[in-house]
Structure 1
Amino acid sequence: MSTATAALLEQLDLERLDRDLFRGVSPDEGRPRVFGGQVAAQSLVAAVRTVEGRMVHSLHSYFLRPGDPKVPIIYEVDRIRDGRTFATRRVVAVQNGEAIFNMAASFQIEEEGFEHHVEMPEVPPPESVPSNAERIRQAREHADHPIFRWLSKLDRPIVIHDTDPIDPVHPTVRTGPHRVWFKSDGGLPDDPILHRCVLTYASDMTLLGASLAQHGLTWFDPTLQVASLDHAIWFHR
């Protein structure tokens, strides 16, 4: 397990303040605001710690205000419903007395049901395409952008391989799906709930890029101000 992955697991180990009240902190990475995937993952951890015997199968969330990475985040959990099969939780992330994030998560007892799947698309294997970290280092050779310098120093817990990478220096319009391979940088504990929390963290790492690619832009463009507004995940078997 890499140092960055170990640090992520530490961030997800929230401090319990009360029965349904938790506190989380942010890493010192030089960000002006809290990474959206972090607050989403920590919110899910808070919800998970109030549910027994059920696995999260979906979540829906809204980013309400930018988070300050220097200020601890308080997670307030509301036990909306505990049924025989399903449980629902609402989590509000708070800083300085104001909500910065809101999540609703649904949990279900694991049971047999109908199964179907979509065929795996034809994509290059991950080892045949450079990781995003490698592409950033290559981009610095052509444009010494401040964001490139910052990203090249950042130790990321998630390794991403874009199957059809966009040139961050000279982007072109891309239509269609945005497909990436990604995994944690090193193994994780054998805990399926923790795996879904880490997946929630990683899910916010490529969404903005996929949207901007439709316009021939990247989030490195100095004329843009980008942020996640809402987020939904369905966890499939």
Structure 2
Amino acid sequence: MRRKEYACPNGCSLPPRRKQLREYSDGTYGFDFYDFTFCPCCGSLMPYSLKKLKGFFEVYNIHTALSDAVQLIYKSEFESAAREAFIAVENYLKKKSGLDSHGFDLATRALSFEIDKQTGEIKRSPLIAINDLKNESERNEQDGIRYMLMGFFQGPRNLYQHNHIGSGVSNSISVIIEASFFLHLLDGHSITQNGRWIPEKMDYREIFQKMPKRIDRWKLIHLLKKRACRSKKNH
């Protein structure tokens, strides 16, 4: 009898969970459980795999525009999840550029720009700029991401759209991660900029009112008092 986290969510009959001889990642051997990532009968993610995947997506900070694709992969609808990710990126490009193109052509027109070869100045700005295009590194990033998006649509997207291809969980996760990478860039999160915390004013009164637990309200008051004391000392 398998424990719930190691049993197929659809009730498929699986062999008993026993320790087997296996090779570890460091090249050593031993007897341990060899668990299925997904059910070998129906292809659904096993519960313990689903839990790990959810944790990974939380750490990775998948773009919010991919929430439908993520929910589909949680349901083990891998091919649909990948297709939804392609749609999300295409719709995002359309919305930000104002173009009514599709796929390869959309990426080409939305991110392309022209430079005056004599002066080095921008002659035609892109409809979507992922950075300020002030130097060679930023312009290379703009061109590089444009080419990557063109390939994203020309290759994987077209295969999924025009052919019924069996897509395992690994391929679908890769598509979603790549889509999230593009979407964050389209939001202006250039990889040429160093990551940093952006100071932001917060209305702590509103936060206090939305704290149902008394202990949390007490902790917030205590935190603000400590900050006020530090501020006085620094001045």
Shorter-chain TM-score above 0.5: no
Q: Which of structures 1 and 2 has the bigger CA Rg?
A: 2
Looking at secondary structure, tell me which structure has more strand per residue: 1
Looking at secondary structure, tell me which structure has more helix per residue: 2
TM-score (norm 1): 0.28
TM-score (norm 2): 0.29
Higher relative contact order (CA 8 A, sep 6+): 1
